[in-house]
Structure 1
């Protein structure tokens, strides 16, 4: 067995193939990658390949682009059988680990442990401060592996779906409240909200400090181009109270190409749970109008239960829960 570094852009197709095969769980089908997810992922991989000349140039000027996607690939007799990716968060020494994937035919041989160990060794050499990953809460073998390697659970989330269906009417906000489009260059709104509402257990690994939110102006432009080439359009909103206080933010991804899926995420001040229903209604009606006939995938933080409770009223169904785990190097 050989474990080698992940190389851009040559390994994008390899990554795509491994994820599509490796994220299949016949015994737990709700964990498996769905057909529309595969369609979206394929378009995004093709978009990334088209953007590579620009990204290669930008890597000389910013750690964000230099470390946009690193990783390792495990090979058996020259054939890829496992994958892991990791990416820097902003310019901070904080890293996200993703796509921990082993083909079903090569599981239970310690390969995932070798891949994670390779990443942790690499991050130590880079003087990383923290590493964060997500794992399905009922995937006990993976959970035990990460705990044995030093990760601890610090929060969680719910993945949920709304299948394509009848449109819902636009919601009406209480008097004085506003929900307005948010500029792609606006990092301050998310920072202001996070400072007020981030729980202590989450702040231990994802502290609401300015450096984690501020980004160079070119980053949202590159992100917008990547989404366009990948067949998606992003929409962002900010919810304000009558006194101007930011009470919530929302972000939607709407498909512009054939096939694929839509998605949405939210942050809402827990002091205003009564507005969760409005935020969900706005998300569903906006996405359905922009990209009808497709499933909408939602991600809800477990410390914001009002959002999922509101979603259930619109027919959103839980798919699975996840633990968010962190490891500190320093």
Structure 2
């Protein structure tokens, strides 16, 4: 590459990245103003309790009917709220004692009734203290508990992680990284001690951009992974091969998702007081033969939604145009 052109490459790429962010924001706002929810989406209830203002983690109980658990984002008190799904009223608050509560972003229940909380948010990429908390499922009552703390690190370096997957049939666990260009599925060890740091290892399975939550069906067969724009269904037993795309209701900041115990519905929530918990039907396919494409190809396709392609195409065009203008100005100078 011509040295003069190389000097112009970085400014052009920076402009392109800025355009991606701006277009994404404006597109999301425009969609929220003009689009309606999917036809099968209904509001299970509306969260009006002002203590739940930045919900970031959601899990639905199999032991306590019509009960979900919610945690708030960074800056919140170390508390788990039990919510009645017929009214969205808070029916129990569990305080977590002696925990370095920093940025909890996801929750999941395993098959033995243990609630797992992922304190793994890292928007600025500065944390070296990611961790999981585990505690007995609280149920519909107030109380306090000292959970086990499981220090965690990521093989891929510092990561912003907002999705935790727990297979209730095997207790296998994964996390999903959140990235502007795509995420990755990382596998957790079978044993997570409290006196040593565990490492989440790369699986090579690509995930969509900006993943904010995920949940596995009760039979351990499928995983639903959500972003701000929509959700994707994966076949866990087929190395997380993508099997379907799912439209979600437009939400101010869609952060949570949890499959319900029936396995036929799931809930989707957003940050903010007065936001509904939407209930949507979960349609899983019948077993089919493996597609002609390789799993790697299918995973790559899953990270590029139509909206993403529009953003990237627009950013590329603007970046090239900006580079050309800079080159022309340089020549004139």
Give yes or no for TM over 0.5.
Answer: no
Higher helix share: 1
Structure ranking higher on relative contact order (CA contacts 8 Å, 6+ apart): 1
Higher strand share: 2
Task: Compare CA radii of gyration and give the structure with the larger one.
Answer: 2
TM-score (ref. length: structure 2): 0.29
